[in-house]
């Protein structure tokens, strides 16, 4: 039986987010494109209080189960909708973040400027996007991606959007780089290929809740291998590569001025 288990690169991304929070600080968050809620769950487990937004009803239903206790306690709230449709007074938080969302959006600067409206002055925005244009693959063509980002691309769009103190990190190097082509091969042999003919919106709606054997779901015994303890050396190693251009995932951190 296959169950949801995060792959090594995702574990590394969580640890990079933990490192980013040491820079940003903050007690409240807004996650745009929360998908099945794994990132929001991670943040809630760290003690933060938050709100998740996603336009995919299927994703919201999964997130409701993932964060059932946090929702019941009032620590977390879910909203079904598009960020561009949210009212100006929707919320104010210390941190707004989106994980693998901006590459689906035509208007990058508009996207960042919109979510910045929900951040308190001096707060932060954290963005994670697929890295390296030369790594465009069949996976991008099944999940509604419009682009991948080289490190400088993400720096430019965050600067242009009015954020300050911007830092861009290459995340999950080298493990995600090593596994990249294997991941693309697994996608090419999965039912994900049926999505190639779908519209970009249809692909985007399910991009955060995919079940691909040996990529996003694994036999339950794999938890013995893929966990925070066994993968700890990878977390240490990835920090040596934050300032490089090698990441197939890029993470940007920026401040919102008043």
133-140 LR contacts (CB < 8 Å, sep 24+): 135/180, 135/248, 137/180, 137/184, 137/187, 138/184, 138/187, 138/188, 138/193, 139/183, 139/184, 139/187, 139/192
In a domain, 107, yes or no: yes
Cα distance between residue 244 and residue 152, in whole Å = 11
Instruction: Tell me the H-state helices in 25-138.
Output: 38-45, 57-66, 68-73, 108-116
Q: The CATH number of the domain where 229 resides is what?
A: 3.40.50.150
pLDDT score for 243: 98
| Predicted TM-score of the model (pTM) | 0.95
pLDDT score for 5: 94
DSSP state of 131: B
In a domain, 167, yes or no: yes
In a domain, 159, yes or no: yes
pLDDT score for 208: 84
In a domain, 196, yes or no: no
Q: What is the mean pLDDT of residues 163-177?
A: 98
Q: Which domain holds residue 123?
A: 2-135+147-176+212-255
Strands annotated E in 8-112: 28-32, 49-54, 76-80, 93-99
* Cα–Cα distances in angstroms (integers) from residue 214 to residues 122, 179, 189, 190, in the given order: 41, 11, 11, 10
pLDDT score for 24: 98
> What is the per-residue pLDDT across 126-146, written as a single tens digit (0 to 9) for each?
999 999 999 999 999 999 999
pLDDT band at 229 (very low <50, low <70, confident <90, very high): very high
Give me the number of domains the chain comprises. 1
pLDDT score for 142: 94
In a domain, 207, yes or no: no
């Amino acid at each position: 039986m296959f169950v949801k288990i995060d792959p090594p690169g995702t574990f590394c991304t969580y640890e990079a987010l933990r490192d980013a929070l040491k820079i940003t600080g903050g007690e409240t968050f807004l996650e745009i494109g929360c998908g099945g809620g794994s990132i929001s769950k991670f943040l809630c487990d760290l003690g933060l209080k938050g709100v998740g937004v996603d336009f995919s009803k299927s994703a919201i239903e999964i997130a409701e189960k993932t964060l059932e206790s946090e929702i019941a306690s009032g620590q977390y709230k879910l909203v079904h909708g598009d960020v561009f449709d949210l009212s100006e007074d929707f919320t104010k938080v210390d941190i707004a973040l989106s994980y693998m969302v901006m590459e689906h959006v035509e208007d990058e600067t508009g996207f960042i400027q919109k979510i910045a409206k929900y951040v308190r002055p001096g707060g932060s925005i954290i963005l994670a996007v697929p890295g390296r244009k030369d790594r465009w693959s069949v996976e991008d063509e099944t999940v509604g991606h419009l682009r991948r980002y080289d490190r400088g691309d993400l720096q430019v769009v965050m600067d242009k959007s009015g954020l300050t103190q911007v830092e861009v990190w290459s995340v999950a190097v080298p493990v995600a780089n090593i596994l990249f082509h294997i991941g693309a091969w697994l996608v090419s042999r999965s039912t994900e290929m049926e999505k190639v003919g779908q519209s970009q919106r249809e692909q985007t709606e399910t991009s955060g809740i995919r079940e691909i054997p040996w990529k996003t779901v694994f036999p339950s015994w794999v938890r013995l291998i893929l966990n925070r303890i066994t993968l700890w050396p990878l977390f240490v190693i990835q920090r040596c590569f934050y300032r490089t251009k090698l990441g197939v995932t890029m993470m940007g951190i920026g401040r919102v001025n008043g």
